[in-house]
Amino acid sequence: MKKILVLFLFSVGCSLYAQQFSADMKKTDIMKVCDAVAKWQINHQKEVKHHPLDWTNGALYRGMTEWGKVSGNETCYDFVREIGEKYNWNMWDRVYHADDICVGQAFIEMYRKLGDKRMLQPVMERAYYVATHPSKAPLLKTDAVGTLERWSWADALFMAPPVYAALYTMTGDDVYLNYMNSEYKECVDSLYDEEYSLFYRDNKRIPMREKNGAKQFWGRGNGWVFAGLPLIIDNLPIDCDSRNYYIQLFVKMAEAVRKTQCEGGDWRTSLLDPDSYDMPENSCSAFMCYGIAWGLRNEYLAKRTYKPVLEKGWKSLVKAVHTDGKLGYIQPVGAAPKAAGRDATDVYGVGAFLLAGSELYKLIK
């Protein structure tokens, strides 16, 4: 009797983790899983502890607007619009902080869809002020002012630059482009490792080493940079000279991303010491899949080399989606490698997943 009970409980446990969604590279399958992930997050958003204008949610909203645009799922747009209206389409509080303009990416997309200037004005005013009054603090995370006012950490290269790229294209005002290029390149010069084509999270991490002696390249930190590059490039005109700089950096990073993928298709929270964190980190993995899918679709990456990487990566991501649409294995807010289990989720990981699904959906013929 006891043995039967154990077997029953085991079967129940297995059914809870049964994979409901297919990872086949078909539009119907991609739509099913992305709609489920988006719906789960929208239904559970009231449980999120982050401020609605925080960067965490900014990444979510960007994924929602992209998936809404690609799939026609108006619920995603409605979700972002309700939040924008509630906060009058404002940015968050810190004027110079890259995190606090991140929501502007989604609000710009809302403006592009609906043409309501109220959606654009606050982000334009914030970005214009910063670009015309640049901070003179050192671009160092260890500087008391530079840590807040400069793009002094890798994540910042996702949060703010796509806003400036979009506003340059929309207005034709060089002030946005010049500021973005200057700030971005200084951050690259500070944190990019030429040998590995990866980024340190910030200058405090440069001397750090993992348990296996490898340099500390944080998975999500590099995911932020890798995913931010397509958002910048897509927002720049084809004839813009600056595009080449970002494209070249993207291609270099893509090879490092390919090399650090694990056998199971995932990426770990520490890119050069995966064995110390023996589980996926899916905010990183989703950002990597998004970038690779974008690179394939735009023919910056060789299909023969990178298509298998994408297929394995997407399969690993879909495997982590619970039957109710919850996405697991997402590391909590942090600045360095740390493991996260199957039940760990957060909004930026969902945004990354929706970006990946959107780009994969566009890639499939």
Between 142 and 3, the higher pLDDT residue: 142
Q: How many structural domains does the chain have?
A: 1
pLDDT number for residue 365: 80
Q: What is the percent of the chain where pLDDT is above 90? A: 94
Q: For residue 277, give the CATH number of its domain.
A: 1.50.10.10
Q: What is the mean pLDDT of the chain?
A: 95
Residues 6 or more apart in contact with residue 270 via CB below 8 angstroms: 210, 214, 216, 217, 218, 219, 276, 277, 337
Is residue 210 helix, strand or coil? coil
Q: Domain for residue 35, yes or no?
A: yes
pLDDT number for residue 4: 45
Show the domain range for 29.
22-363
Q: Domain for residue 8, yes or no?
A: no
Of 128, 50, 53, 118, which Cα lies nearest the Cα of 88? 118
Between 119 and 14, the higher pLDDT residue: 119
Q: Domain for residue 335, yes or no?
A: yes
pLDDT number for residue 9: 40
| 288-299 pLDDT per residue, tens | 999 999 999 999
Q: Domain for residue 1, yes or no?
A: no
| 231-279 pLDDT per residue, tens | 999 999 999 999 999 999 999 999 999 999 999 999 999 999 999 999 9
54, 99, 155, 346: which is the annotated catalytic residue? 155
Long-range contacts at 244-252 (CB < 8 A, ≥ 24 apart): 245/181, 245/185, 247/300, 249/188, 250/226, 250/291, 250/295, 250/300, 251/295, 251/300, 251/301, 252/197
Integer Cα distance of 276 and 337 in angstroms: 10
What is the mean pLDDT of the segment spanning 58-84?
98
Is residue 156 helix, strand or coil? helix
Q: Domain for residue 12, yes or no?
A: no
| 171-211 pLDDT per residue, tens | 999 999 999 999 999 999 999 999 999 999 999 999 999 99
Confidence band (pLDDT; 50, 70, 90) for 30? very high
Here the tokens at position 179 are: 């500021």
Cβ atoms of residues 116 and 169 within 8 Å: no
Between 9 and 50, the higher pLDDT residue: 50
Integer Cα distance of 26 and 361 in angstroms: 8
pLDDT number for residue 18: 53
Integer Cα distance of 200 and 357 in angstroms: 27
Cβ atoms of residues 158 and 222 within 8 Å: no
pLDDT at 11 over 50: no
Q: Domain for residue 331, yes or no?
A: yes
Between 283 and 19, the higher pLDDT residue: 283
Q: Domain for residue 330, yes or no?
A: yes
Q: Domain for residue 3, yes or no?
A: no
pLDDT number for residue 20: 85
Integer Cα distance of 185 and 190 in angstroms: 9
Integer Cα distance of 93 and 282 in angstroms: 29
pLDDT number for residue 233: 98
Is residue 360 helix, strand or coil? helix
> pTM of this prediction?
0.95
- What value does the CA radius of gyration of the chain take, rounded to a whole number of Å? 20
Q: Check if 155 is active-site.
A: yes
Confidence band (pLDDT; 50, 70, 90) for 15? very low
Residue with tokens 């994924």: 63
